[in-house]
Structure 1
Amino acid sequence: MKTDHPRDEIVRTLNSAKNVLVATHIHPDGDALGSQIALGNILRSLGKNVFFYGEERVSHLYRFLPGSAEIDSLLPALNGFDCAVALDCGDCNRLGAAMDSLLTVHPFVVIDHHLGHQEFGDLRWIAPERASTGEMVYDLAEALGAELSYEAAYCLYAAIVSDTGSFKYSSTTADTFRIAGELLRKGVKPAEVSGKLFDNFTVKRLNLMRLVLDSLQLYAEDQLAIIAAPREVFIKTGTTQADAETFINYPRSLNTVKVAAFLKETEKGLISVSLRSKGTDYDVAQVAAIFGGGGHRNAAGCKLRDMSIAEVQEKLLARLLPMVSR
């Protein structure tokens, strides 16, 4: 007997809703923000009232996304919403300080593509085989019978490019390219989006990158690379945590490196860890899970409290060295 796709109940819920809250995870990246704004745009095209929630102001790296200025950190009265949607959020704790309040909205819909997804919400569509949440939002638009605007297409294309590393990660599929092609038919210009995403350095950010890359350490015959950013480098360069978002890609780009790690001190005693790997033999999501994090096989992360960067690095080396040396 044929069973419903997880998306089908979400489609019915959104079709019947009038007032929808759309959220994503804290410290959102391009896929999270692009998916959030695009879904809201799509729902508005269907006559829905949409409120965009974000715990913090959108990073200057993503303010080029059309509609990003509408994301608001002040929650309205939640009893007025027919449903809420969380996008690209693998763990309810990543909803941030307003988690408990947000989860009082029912039905609470979750659309995510993280392999280590921690189940929450009333309705879930989890597809770890998809390269980005942006792809899933495109599918949802089709299932809703919505006509994508240029602005929604722009946001979805930015989401897909962000999470596939410009289509170079192993998660990229033929379906990824098919959807990207359809978005270009809406008038999106790849060079423009890539320029906004990747050619966006300020002098301050370049100085930050110089200091962070100077911390590079290599292990296991240059197969494991680690970089670090203590709080002092942000203060010295007048930058923010957001300015360091893509720096993990540089140690990963070394031709000998199989696994890369970026240790970032976000506040005193709190270290954020980003992990990246190449190919199918190095599952960094498993390592992140050991420390209470998660993500994908080739891209994952976690946070460790009450530790210094040196202490976190020691713990990571104990897990990562055997991985690259076997």
Structure 2
Amino acid sequence: MKQEIIEKIEQYDTIIIHRHVRPDEDAYGSQLGLASLLRTNYPHKMIYTTGLHSAPLDYLGKPTGVDDAAYEGALVIVTDTANTDRVDDQRYTTGAYLIKVDHHPNEDKYGDMRWVNTDASSCSEMIFDLAKTAEWTLTAESARYLFAGIVGDTGRFQYPSTTELTFNTVAELIDYDFDRSALFNGMYEVSCNVLQLQGYIYQNFSMDDNGAGYIKLTKELLAQFDVTVEETNNLVPSLGNAKGIVAWAMFVEEDDQIRIRLRSKGPVINTIAKQFRGGGHPVAAGATIYDWSEADDVIQAIEALCKQQ
């Protein structure tokens, strides 16, 4: 499959790379990392990246954007995106050929070609694997993107998805001359407002005797702390520091929906996400509800899951 993808890349003069909405480090790492690799190794090709930019990821990079006309006869690659409704920029279907590269469960089998590896720690790890297979030249820029994606999606190598291959990959990436300290500062430094909201979370989260936890962040609360929805991304792991917690949900209210970020220290949590218009990895998933009354159903599902352990 990797070789087939490489051959497709070599066939097209224009390549447009998409990723998922509300991007994280792996979305940017795989998208921008692949773009950097292609620009280095195929300088005659036109390489574009698209999708709504996320301000908290300013430290990592920004997509270039792309005009409608560029899609004619183009190869489109979507990275790190399990479902079609989560592809950022729905023009992804208007190219000549579509490739899906992902490490989430392959339940939405879109694309003319699909490379899905659920054993990979991250899509960025897969892009590195692709580069090795193609014998592409890596630069410090591409190494930085891929390193950030791997670190982000492994929770700094804490998640079970971290494997020997992950560490071997990272060992090769850190040989390249990029500033890891500056990168980590960009990934983990937060504003005082976000830290104050984190304090609120620690003071107000709920957890039952079986280790099921949750916190609800309403629009009014976010406004009170002057924190955006995007800025709450780094707070999701916070409840994992609570002794005895097994699985938890962070509810974050937006204008038209309530996002649910689900995490687990063992029990498979993406089964709950699928019940509420979502999906993801076994221990890290997301879902969506449209009314706070549904939140109680999610909480009950988490409580039932933890009670079984």
TM-score for the superposition, normalised by structure 1? 0.89
After superposition, the C-alpha distances for 1:121-162 in whole angstroms (9 at most, x for unaligned) are: 111100111000010000111222211110000010000000
2:47 to 45, 50, 53: 50
- In 2, the alpha carbon distance for the partners of 1:58 and 1:318 equals 32
Match of 1:135 in 2: 125
Structure 1 residue 292: Cα displacement: 2.1
Match of 1:9 in 2: 4
Structure 1 residue 11: Cα displacement: 1.1
Please say which of residues 189-198 and 254-263 is displaced more in the overlay: 189-198
After superposition, the C-alpha distances for 1:266-316 in whole angstroms (9 at most, x for unaligned) are: 224x1111111113xx110111111121101110111112x12xx132111
Contact persistence 2:258–2:288 (CA under 8 A): yes
Structure 1 residue 9: Cα displacement: 1.6
Contact persistence 1:83–1:105 (CA under 8 A): yes
Contact persistence 2:214–2:249 (CA under 8 A): yes
The aligned length equals: 306
User: Residues 142-221 of structure 1: matches in 2 within 5 Å?
Assistant: 142-198=132-188, 200-219=189-208, 221=209
Match of 1:322 in 2: 304
One-letter code of the match for 1:236? Q
- In 2, the alpha carbon distance for the partners of 1:75 and 1:228 equals 39
Match of 1:249 in 2: 237
- In 2, the alpha carbon distance for the partners of 1:53 and 1:79 equals 12
- In 1, the alpha carbon distance for the partners of 2:237 and 2:71 equals 42
Contact persistence 1:92–1:120 (CA under 8 A): yes
Aligned: 1:88 with 2:88:
no
One-letter code of the match for 1:244? T
Structure 1 residue 189: Cα displacement: 4.4
Identity within the alignment, %: 24
Contact persistence 1:15–1:144 (CA under 8 A): no
- In 2, the alpha carbon distance for the partners of 1:160 and 1:206 equals 24
TM-score for the superposition, normalised by structure 2? 0.94
Match of 2:102 in 1: 112
Structure 1 residue 76: Cα displacement: 3.0
**In angstroms, what is the RMSD of aligned CA positions?**
1.6
CA 1:190 to 1:79, structure 2 compared with 1: closer, same or farther past 3 Å? Answer: closer
One-letter code of the match for 1:223? G
Contact persistence 1:39–1:152 (CA under 8 A): yes
Match of 1:103 in 2: 93
The gaps in structure 2 that reach 5 residues or longer are: none
Partner SS, residue 62 of structure 2: helix
Contact persistence 1:40–1:50 (CA under 8 A): yes
- In 2, the alpha carbon distance for the partners of 1:317 and 1:202 equals 29
- In 2, the alpha carbon distance for the partners of 1:218 and 1:25 equals 31
One-letter code of the match for 2:294? V
Match of 2:258 in 1: 271
One-letter code of the match for 1:251? L
- In 1, the alpha carbon distance for the partners of 2:264 and 2:299 equals 14
2:289 to 285, 299, 304: 304
- In 1, the alpha carbon distance for the partners of 2:194 and 2:93 equals 36
Structure 1 residue 58: Cα displacement: 2.6
Aligned: 1:71 with 2:64:
yes
The gaps in structure 1 that reach 5 residues or longer are: 1-5
After superposition, the C-alpha distances for 1:11-62 in whole angstroms (9 at most, x for unaligned) are: 11011111110110000000100111110011111222111101x2232x22
Contact persistence 1:114–1:128 (CA under 8 A): yes
Aligned: 1:25 with 2:25:
no
